Structure 1
Amino acid sequence: MLPSEPKIFHGRDSELENILKAFAIETPRIAILGAGGMGKTSLARVVLHHSQITAIYGQHRIFVACDTVATKTELVAHIGAHLGLKPRKDLTQPVLRHLSGIPPSLLVLDNLETVWDPPEHRKDIEEFLSLLVNIKHMALLITMRGAERPAKVQWSRPFLRPLKPLTQDAARKTFIDIAEDAHEYDDIDKVLLLTDYMPLAINLLAHLVDSEGCSTVLLRWENEKTSLISEGYDRRNNLDLSISLSLTSPRIAAFPHSPDLLSLLAILPDGLSDVDLLQSKLPLDDLLHCKAALLRTALTYTDTQGRLKVLIPIQEYMKKFYPPADHVFQPLLGYFHNLLKVHSIHHGTISAPGIITRVSSNFGNIQNMLMNGLRLNQPYLVNNIYCIIALNSFSQQTGHGGIQLMNHISNVLPTLSDLRLKGACITELLNSWRHRSIPNPEMLIQQALKLFQHFDDSDLLCKFSD
């Protein structure tokens, strides 16, 4: 029995067109790839029911869900059951004979990564796929989370690119089809921003909005994040479960530090360039292999600038369940702090533009990391405050004004015992007067003058005097 055709389907016109083109010129072998929750199964179901496909294959369309299959033997048995074959110890040859003996057919293997992912089964699965594609009149369509296609199959060219998030327009249409258009467009767009236009997240949040309204859902998201749409035990109805399945896949397990890298990327809204990734000297073994594993499982992606990024739903999941550990957090923040120091040294010189570009491309990253590093019990609090001062100075020197983090320094200032740091904080606060109102500046000046009596720092005193 075939699954139903999706009633709501937007934003995959180009992918659908490319798949149908392949069916028009050959008996194709196509892999639909992408992150969990990106709509791979929905696209496969649309293909399965398209008039062009039904005209070619009629009743010989076979859809096999592989998410409960653990071995090649089980996969073959599953296919055999759909074909109506009698169970036996190994149905490989009966399945191949049956498919060879029927008219042109389409076999869809959905969520094939479940059985292909474990390294110990991969060779058997790929060998079986190679036998399937030897049946010249049988088309093969698979869906797999990630960005890798199984070997031993000559996949149709051009390859179908891994599915990306929907466009804003397609996301909005999907949302309105589920939750109607009785909501303000501004509120709808606020909800959609939480999804990063990931189809599964859109679907789940839209159903929630349909019953609770946008304002309630937005308020609940602040407290519950992805848990808000993670009830149930089905990957298609539980965002956390979908992400967890990718995170625990054998491709990730092969490089144990991959989750550490992902947890760090999850708090970096600007993503990371390869230069930053390598020069930050993160204490992670097989760093480039970890990056590759995250890309292969589609837990990360590269944007148009080549920066490694994470979709918002995955960011929120990681921040809740796998926040970055200090041993990876601090080296990266230290690297950014060193960039700021280099800028301070070379400010106004011929070397400055390159440094400005590197810091600017990580400006959101640095701010986000520093916000995380301002806890009073944070062992690196002193270093982090110096970094805030350096970032504020950079922001002012590059014409962007002061940063909001300076307000947080004011709150921390009374707790500091480091007199030089207190002096540096007050100096930077006073130098920010053009961009923020400073209550009691005279009092701060007097405090600074008293502090300067206890240590000798001519550079800081000069900056204060300016």
Structure 2
Amino acid sequence: PTPPEDFFGRDDIVLTLANLFIGNDQRRIAILGAGGLGKTSIALHLLHHEIVAHRFKGREFFVGCDGVTSADGLASLILKILEALASASGNVINTLHVALAGALPTLLVLDNFESTWDAQGNHNAVRELLKKVASVKSVSVIITMRATDPPTEIRWSWSETIPPLSPTSAKYVFLAVHGPLPSGSNSDDEILDGLLKELDYVPLAIHLLAQVSRGFELAFMLKQWRGRQTQMLRLEAGMRTLDRLESVDVSISLSIESLDIKRNPGAIQLLGMLCLLPDGLFRWQERLEAIEKTFETATPDLFLLRKFALVYTARDKLGVLSPIRHYVLRYHPPDSQHAQCIY
């Protein structure tokens, strides 16, 4: 895929990662974070960077893991993208290993790897697949993943959670997609600054806001946002089903599905509780101990929310990004007993 043109505030990350590919050492990179932060965009810009292109000479492959829920399915998809023949009777993971081991230096980007990693099923097989791929020293791997921590089965060269954009970069994104504001309009400029802040500078939310705002005054869009929140951050698709890049709600729902709220009802309740606090939960460690006196699973529930990057910590604050917060309060609000416990 072609990297997006409207790409601001991430050049330093891309350059840092590209420089890792100077030389011939194998690299294993994990680009982590909540949905909508631009992990895929970073991976695509890295994939097309001149340093990477010079290193792998056309053997850079992008593998979208959406909907791939098994190790065999992912191995088969990679073989197909590599245009390598799969054995009719052999183990497809071993076949992939042999194909990679016999090839020139290769870069694999496994995008949205959580779709396969967190799928209900044979997790051991997915773990084995990742280890097999990483064991080939001529193969470098980049994963993007809705998570706070990468799989621990292999040693990563670089692994970080991507933050939201800076206010300045967020404004660049909006104006690049929307077009310039009326010249000399201080009120529009102030409204835009406020809107971007209310979105917590999440790139996908800003991109969609800019598209749906075309032709409307920003004061009107601010009222729409405060009334409809994430429901307005979607494109019109007619009868076609929206994907995760066309709707903030669709993007967030994928993370909620990974949480598996039927098996983990306490986790969605804790998330709902945290979403009641726009400014976050301060002194969260001692507050969590107090909450745990009433709800015993609060700490393991928090670990689960953190695993799927549905919450973040900043010093003594535990918070939820604005789009996730509004989505959860609309579709998964906490019950009254849990809600009372947070205050």
TM-score over 0.5 for the alignment? yes
AA aligned opposite 1:227: Q
CA distance in 1, matches of 2:292, 2:138: 52
Aligned length: 328
AA aligned opposite 1:276: R
Structure 2 CA distance for partners of 1:253 and 1:20, relative to 1, 3 Å:
farther
Counterpart in 1 of 2:335? Answer: 325
1:289 partnered with 2:295: no
Structure 2 CA distance for partners of 1:256 and 1:48, relative to 1, 3 Å:
same
Give the number of the structure with larger relative contact order, counting CA–CA contacts within 8 Å between residues 6 or more apart.
2
| 1:170-192 superposed Cα distances (whole Å, 9 cap, x missing partner) | 11111111112225321221221
TM-score by length of 1: 0.67
Counterpart in 2 of 1:51? Answer: 50
Confirm or deny: 8 A CA contact 2:63 2:81 kept in the other structure: yes
Counterpart in 2 of 1:29? Answer: 28
CA distance in 2, matches of 1:257, 1:111: 26
1:9 partnered with 2:19: no
1:254 CA drift (Å): 5.3
Q: 2:289 aligns with which of 268, 273, 278?
A: 278
Counterpart in 2 of 1:457? Answer: none
CA distance in 2, matches of 1:145, 1:253: 20
1:72 partnered with 2:71: yes
Counterpart in 1 of 2:214? Answer: 210
Confirm or deny: 8 A CA contact 1:18 1:160 kept in the other structure: no
CA distance in 2, matches of 1:109, 1:271: 32
Confirm or deny: 8 A CA contact 2:33 2:39 kept in the other structure: yes
TM-score by length of 2: 0.90
- Larger deviation, residues 79-88 vs 147-156: 79-88
What 5-or-longer segments of structure 1 have no aligned partner?
334-466
CA distance in 2, matches of 1:154, 1:280: 36
SS in structure 2 of the partner of residue 103 of structure 1: coil
What 5-or-longer segments of structure 2 have no aligned partner?
183-187, 236-240
Counterpart in 2 of 1:219? Answer: 223
1:155 CA drift (Å): 1.0
1:298 partnered with 2:336: no
CA distance in 2, matches of 1:133, 1:280: 42
- The RMSD of aligned alpha carbons is 1.8
| 1:18-58 superposed Cα distances (whole Å, 9 cap, x missing partner) | 21232125220111100011111000000000011111112
Matches within 5 A, 1:14-413: 14-25=12-23, 26-86=25-85, 88=88, 90-118=91-119, 120-156=121-157, 159-183=158-182, 184-231=188-235, 232-250=241-259, 255-272=264-281, 273-281=284-292, 283-303=294-314, 305-333=315-343
Confirm or deny: 8 A CA contact 2:274 2:342 kept in the other structure: no
SS in structure 2 of the partner of residue 55 of structure 1: helix
1:252 CA drift (Å): 6.0
CA distance in 2, matches of 1:205, 1:66: 27
More helix by share: 1
Confirm or deny: 8 A CA contact 2:150 2:159 kept in the other structure: no
